[in-house]
Structure 1
Amino acid sequence: MRDDLVLDEFEKLLEERLATIQSEREAQRKEGAPVELDQTKVGRLSRMDAMQQQAMAQATANRAELETQRIRTALSRLRSGDYGYCVKCEEEIAEGRLRVDPATLICIDCARTAEKK
């Protein structure tokens, strides 16, 4: 367990972000409703616009789900004492990197290596 980090602070950041994502997802559920295909009720351009908005809402929901998984993983690692250590090389992740993205699982060196591939 890392002694140099204030783990309660990171837990609070992660919990707040998770709550924000969940409230945003609730608001977006309405946008993901099926598109009405009845030509007499909705014009062609309106229907295409609605379909595009629906696709964008679905993509946003997918990104939110991935972010939720990352946050839950980070919270699990925090509670198990593994938080702040890279999952690839097991070295400490810099505090500054954790402040930018508290859900990150890899150190900057491993992230750079992964980008080169």
Structure 2
Amino acid sequence: MNVKSAEEYRNLILSHLAALEEEDRLGQQGQSVVTLDQQAVGRLSRMDALQSQAMAKANQLRRDAKKTALLQSLGRLDQGEFGYCEECGEDIAPKRLAFDPSVTRCISCARG
């Protein structure tokens, strides 16, 4: 991989990380503690709030996993291992990396 494309991938990874950080910031309110005051909120409203909270927490876990994968991609980029399949060692298609720079396997190995 040449220096120009490595820098493009680095910028792409950093932009994905920045977008995830923004999603984290916006998702903090949805994870707040649900008040169980029966005078203020009805039973169904509390159930909806609990469900929304659970979905917000699940989304946070998904974002955390994606951030970890992107940070690992930065590490592979620094070590010169970015863009190569971890199973077969072949190049990963540039379009696949452009779509998701955290992928670690070529399409053939990903399909099994």
Do Structure 1 and Structure 2 share a fold, with TM-score over 0.5? Answer: yes
CA contact (8 A) 1:5 1:95 kept: no
| 2:46 counterpart of 1:71 | no
Q: Equivalent residue for 2:5?
A: 6
Deviations 1:50-103 (CA, angstroms, capped at 9, x unpaired)? 011101101110110111011001011001110001111111111121112111
Q: Which amino acid aligns with 2:36?
A: L
**In structure 2, distance between residues paired with 1:111 and 1:44:** 45
- Structure 2 portions without partners, runs of 5+: none
Q: CA separation of 1:4/1:76 partners in 2, compared to 1, >3 Å: closer, same or farther?
A: closer
**In structure 2, distance between residues paired with 1:27 and 1:3:** 37
Q: CA deviation at 1:4?
A: 8.9
**In structure 1, distance between residues paired with 2:61 and 2:54:** 11
**Aligned residue runs from structure 1 range 16-55, under 5 A:** 16-55=15-54
**In structure 2, distance between residues paired with 1:73 and 1:99:** 16
Q: How many residues in Structure 1 have an aligned counterpart in Structure 2?
A: 112
Q: CA separation of 1:23/1:4 partners in 2, compared to 1, >3 Å: closer, same or farther?
A: closer
| 2:81 counterpart of 1:87 | no
Q: Which amino acid aligns with 2:47?
A: M
Q: CA deviation at 1:3?
A: 3.5
CA contact (8 A) 1:84 1:98 kept: yes
RMSD of aligned C-alpha atoms? 1.4
**In structure 2, distance between residues paired with 1:20 and 1:92:** 27
Q: Equivalent residue for 2:99?
A: 100
**In structure 2, distance between residues paired with 1:108 and 1:71:** 18
Q: CA separation of 1:92/1:73 partners in 2, compared to 1, >3 Å: closer, same or farther?
A: same
